[in-house]
């Protein structure tokens, strides 16, 4: 069973009820509610389809690790451990170490944007872990890495690799939604944790809002 959390972003950011950050999030109640609903839809779905809980938490652990956010990584890794596959958990940890890099990079289609092409590694799951992870999950990790670091390389050929590994079109949509949601969640949590460092300074709620907006807009998290 996964760890049930009433508000995943509050939990990951260490937000206490009644704190300045709690009041900040209360200014956007719909956004707060939707973020939690998105988490539940992806990790506690009523109708999970063919994407298993193990695959969801394995991908989440991998993506959080690529973003170098230990609080988020540890949360999803703990859930992965509860699913009873220490071999897969160990393989994911090793693949994070192998896959971490700097981005974004990749190639645009021929045209004006090709001047912004950046060369970078084409991540592949190591041969040592392909057997323990299985072809399907290995392909999912490789595609997740592409979406995190080189989305400009997304192509029909990249999707075909997933289809060949056993991902259906519906599964691929779920995988893409997972990576997209995690990127959002990680940025918000990192921004809130940055603000938490200012908790010892007298700061008004309006100032917190301005700082938080600036942190997210800067792309620093």
Is residue 1 a part of any domain in this protein?
no
Q: CA angle at residue 148 from 6 to 75, to 5 degrees?
A: 30
Is residue 206 a part of any domain in this protein?
yes
Cα–Cα distance measured from residue 51 to residue 130, given in angstroms and rounded to the nearest whole number: 18
Residue 110 is classified by DSSP as S
Number of residues in the chain: 221
Percentage of the chain lying above the pLDDT 90 cut: 76
The owner of tokens 């071999």 is 87
Q: How many domains does the chain have?
A: 1
Indicate the average pLDDT of the chain.
Answer: 89
Confidence of residue 78 (pLDDT cuts 50, 70, 90): very high
Is residue 196 within 8 Å of 21, Cβ to Cβ? yes
Its domain, for residue 17, covers 8-218
What are 150-189's pLDDT values in tens digits? Answer: 999 999 999 999 999 999 999 999 999 999 999 999 999 9
Task: Give backbone dihedrals phi and psi of 108, rounded to 5 degrees, phi first.
Answer: -85, 160
What are 90-139's pLDDT values in tens digits? Answer: 999 999 999 999 999 999 888 998 889 899 999 999 999 999 999 999 99
Is residue 139 a part of any domain in this protein?
yes
pLDDT of the residue at 213: 57
Rounded to the nearest angstrom, the gap between the alpha carbon of residue 79 and the centroid of all alpha carbons in its chain is 14
Is residue 2 a part of any domain in this protein?
no
Is residue 3 a part of any domain in this protein?
no
Confidence of residue 218 (pLDDT cuts 50, 70, 90): very low
Percentage of the chain lying above the pLDDT 70 cut: 87
20, two tokens: 């300045």
CATH number at residue 75: 1.20.1290.10
pLDDT of the residue at 219: 42
Cα–Cα distance measured from residue 202 to residue 55, given in angstroms and rounded to the nearest whole number: 44
Q: Which residue has the higher pLDDT, 51 or 205?
A: 51
Is residue 64 within 8 Å of 182, Cβ to Cβ? yes
How far is the CA of 159 from the CAs of 125, 141, 169, 199, in angstroms? Answer: 17, 13, 9, 45
Confidence of residue 211 (pLDDT cuts 50, 70, 90): low
206, two tokens: 């309006």
Q: Which residue has the higher pLDDT, 215 or 111?
A: 111
Is residue 152 a part of any domain in this protein?
yes
Entry pTM: 0.87
In terms of Cα–Cα distance, which of 193, 92, 190, 107 is closest to 144? 92
């Amino acid at each position: 069973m996964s760890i049930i959390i009433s508000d995943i972003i509050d939990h990951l950011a260490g937000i206490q009820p009644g704190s300045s950050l709690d009041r900040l999030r209360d200014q956007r109640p719909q956004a707060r509610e939707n973020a939690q609903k998105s988490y539940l839809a992806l990790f506690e779905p009523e109708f999970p389809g063919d994407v298993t809980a193990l695959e969801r938490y394995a991908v989440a652990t991998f993506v959080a690790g690529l973003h170098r956010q230990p609080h988020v990584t540890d949360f999803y890794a703990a859930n992965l451990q509860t699913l009873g596959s220490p071999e897969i958990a160990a393989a994911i940890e090793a693949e994070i170490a192998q896959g971490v890099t700097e981005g974004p990079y990749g190639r645009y289609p021929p045209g004006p944007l090709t001047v912004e092409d950046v060369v970078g590694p084409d991540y592949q799951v190591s041969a040592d872990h392909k057997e323990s992870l299985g072809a399907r999950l290995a392909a999912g990790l490789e595609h997740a890495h592409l979406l995190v670091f080189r989305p400009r390389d997304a192509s029909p050929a990249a999707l075909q690799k997933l289809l060949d590994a056993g991902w259906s079109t519906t599964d691929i949509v779920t995988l893409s939604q997972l990576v997209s949601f995690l990127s959002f969640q990680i940025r918000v949590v990192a921004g809130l944790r940055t603000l938490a460092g200012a908790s010892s300074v007298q700061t008004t709620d309006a100032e917190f809002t301005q700082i938080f907006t600036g942190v997210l807009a800067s792309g620093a998290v």
